[in-house]
Amino acid sequence: MTAHTLDELRVLNTYAALPAPFYTRLSPQPLNAPRLLHANPEAAALIGLDRGALGTPEFLAVFSGAQPLPGGDTLAAVYSGHQFGIWAGQLGDGRAHLLGEVAGPQGRWELQLKGSGMTPYSRMGDGRAVLRSSVREYLASEAMHGLGIPTTRALALVVSDDPVMRETVETAAIVTRMSPSFVRFGSFEHWSARRQPDMLRTLADYVIDHDYPECRMPPAGEPADDKAPYVALLREVTRRTAELMADWQAVGFCHGVMNTDNMSILGLTLDYGPYGFMDGFRLDHVCNHSDSEGRYSWNRQPSVALWNLYRLGGSLHMLVQDVDALRAVLDEFEGIFTRAFHERARAKLGLAAWRPDDEPLLDDLLRLMHANHADFTLSWRRLSDAVRGERQAFEDLFIDRPAAGAWLDRLLARQAGDGRPPAEVAQAMDAVNPLYVLRNHLAEEAIQAAKRGDAGEIDTLLTLLRAPCQARPGYEKYAALPPDWASSIEVSCSS
């Protein structure tokens, strides 16, 4: 039954039931004179909350940090992690508060405030988030969901005139994030680094029982083994992470900060900081201005994900103690990722089935796009125009038009070998190659409007990004090449 008020939500506190060292119980630090800039009815529906509840004073009070979630047990979680490949030691929710877990009509969702004040894990931070980064996270999580990519969700965006010092003085905001779990790879590293196997086992058992109960089932024909569930957990996380990387690569998404504390144990896209959807394609594109060495460039994301999985596997070794079993699971990553990426490329290229000899066709397109700095999203989208006989739209994206035309001839010949009608192929390609993505300049325009108290651009973008492959007359500017000023936008870890 749909809940009409926050009081009617069925709130659980399973993470709060873990032993005390997993978190610190504390209240958020509310914003002064908070204003609800935007609320997301689609996310609200996931927890059974009616649209009418979103504009109430009670809703604003809870999601500005002024009041607890009714029935919730508010806390900040501890974890550790590797940041830019270097062990950073203890980290944790330095500006986030977990309000509770809601059992909704479509599963369980934890509600977390981000930007809600200092915690014991804030280190040198002030516990706040700024409007700029909060708008970007609010939009990005919904954009990724629209693309069918596993992600956290966003429920509400609350703003205030409270000053926050970054490179300049900005204003504060709180974004409410939703996820079935906010446990990270770094949550496991924390207890492994502290040499506390009992706490590590408690966490692993919690994650398995809460999110991966199938890992308790022994493989057919094999005897029960008390260590097998932990191997099975690593296998499932490896699979989900490999497929997530294929999803990111297929849409030109760069996370920007793939630290182990930003890697979800559920294989979700977690922690939207200096992310970016590529405009002009570069194989080694780096979206994070703070990443001076290019550790998290687009082409390195899959290998970094595997590196992070090795850190998770190393933590679980304390429970499993069978190096060969863990390594065998991690060795599955490359094959899973490659098959998943090829499947996405197959659909994007309009092929009926992937063949090994299609690899040069894909590689040559990426090289051509890289050499010409061709727009990533439009290069893929306009392939369907070429299939319909309108080659110019695709070729116009390339400085070397003859090379683009020659490659296109190869694609069309390959498609013809499948024997499908071109109109059918083009329609299928349009269903998987998005027209609208959250480009940096579109997010920036929404941020500037939000600074004026105008959420209209957020509304427009959410409408387009929820169905990113569907062309909408009148919204051509949102699918156009970026303006020249977009190249000056820099995103970093400063948010």
What pLDDT was estimated at residue 495?
A: 57
Which of 305, 320, 341 represents a domain boundary (last residue)? 341
Q: Is the confidence at residue 47, as pLDDT, over 90?
A: yes
- Helix or strand holding residue 186 (H, E): helix 185-193
All residues at 6 or more sequence positions from 312 whose CB lies less than 8 Å from its CB, including other chains = 185, 188, 189, 234, 237, 260, 263
Q: Is the confidence at residue 488, as pLDDT, over 90?
A: no
DSSP state of 24: E
Residue 492 domain-assigned?
no
| 93-121 tens-digit pLDDT | 999 999 999 999 989 999 999 999 999 99
* Residues 210 and 127 both lie in one domain: no
Per-residue confidence band for 3, with pLDDT thresholds at 50, 70 and 90: low
Q: Provide Rg for the chain, Cα atoms.
A: 23
Asked whether the beta carbons of 259 and 142 are under 8 A apart, the reply is no
Tokens coding 485? 């000023």
Query: CA nearest 47: which of 13, 2, 97?
Result: 2
Query: CA nearest 250: which of 368, 367, 337?
Result: 337
* Residues 393 and 422 both lie in one domain: yes
Residue 403 domain-assigned?
yes
Distance in Å from the first CA to the final CA of the chain: 39
Amino acid in the structure at residue 213: P
* Residues 262 and 126 both lie in one domain: no
* Residues 315 and 399 both lie in one domain: no
What is the average pLDDT value for the chain, to the nearest integer?
96
Where do we find the tokens 């479509």? 106
Amino acid in the structure at residue 48: G
Using CA atoms, how far apart are residues 168 and 166, in angstroms rounded to an integer? Answer: 5
Q: What percent of the chain has a predicted confidence (pLDDT) above 70?
A: 99
Q: What percent of the chain has a predicted confidence (pLDDT) above 90?
A: 94
* Residues 360 and 466 both lie in one domain: yes
Half-sphere exposure of 435 (CA within 13 A, CB side): 23
Tokens coding 257? 């900060």
Using CA atoms, how far apart are residues 263 and 161, in angstroms rounded to an integer? Answer: 32
CA torsion through residues 444, 370, 298, 154, sign: positive
Q: Tally the domains of the chain.
A: 3
Asked whether the beta carbons of 129 and 95 are under 8 A apart, the reply is yes
DSSP code string of 458-483: HHHHHHHHTSTTS--TT-GGGGSPPP
* Residues 258 and 166 both lie in one domain: no
> Average pLDDT of 345-359?
98
Which of 341, 364, 384 represents a domain boundary (last residue)? 341
Q: Is the confidence at residue 72, as pLDDT, over 60?
A: yes
* Residues 144 and 236 both lie in one domain: no
What pLDDT was estimated at residue 225?
A: 87
> Of the ranges 173-182, 214-223, 428-437, 483-492, which one carries the lowest mean pLDDT score?
214-223
Residue 54's domain spans which residues?
6-182
Q: What is the largest CA-CA distance in the chain?
A: 65
| 114-158 tens-digit pLDDT | 999 999 999 989 999 999 999 999 999 999 999 999 999 999 999
**Phi, psi values for residue 154, rounded to 5°:** -125, 130
Residue 87 domain-assigned?
yes
> Average pLDDT of 305-331?
97
Does this model's pTM top 0.85? yes
Asked whether the beta carbons of 76 and 29 are under 8 A apart, the reply is no
Using CA atoms, how far apart are residues 308 and 454, in angstroms rounded to an integer? Answer: 40
* Residues 210 and 242 both lie in one domain: yes
* Residues 327 and 475 both lie in one domain: no
Please tell me which residue in 73, 211, 247, 261 is annotated as part of the active site.
261
- Please say if 261 is a catalytic residue: yes
Residue 490 domain-assigned?
no
Residue 250 domain-assigned?
yes
What pLDDT was estimated at residue 493?
A: 76
* Residues 216 and 332 both lie in one domain: yes
Tokens coding 179? 């996820």
Residue 220: Cβ-neighbour burial (10 angstroms; 0-12, 13-18, 19+): exposed
Residue 67 domain-assigned?
yes
> Average pLDDT of 178-184?
98
Residue 1 domain-assigned?
no
* Residues 222 and 296 both lie in one domain: yes
**Phi, psi values for residue 254, rounded to 5°:** -115, 125
What pLDDT was estimated at residue 494?
A: 64
CA torsion through residues 106, 47, 242, 195, sign: negative
Residue 491 domain-assigned?
no
All residues at 6 or more sequence positions from 268 whose CB lies less than 8 Å from its CB, including other chains = 150, 151, 152, 179, 244
Which of 144, 163, 182 represents a domain boundary (last residue)? 182
Strands 75-77 and 23-25: antiparallel
What pLDDT was estimated at residue 490?
A: 84
> Average pLDDT of 196-212?
98
* Residues 98 and 236 both lie in one domain: no
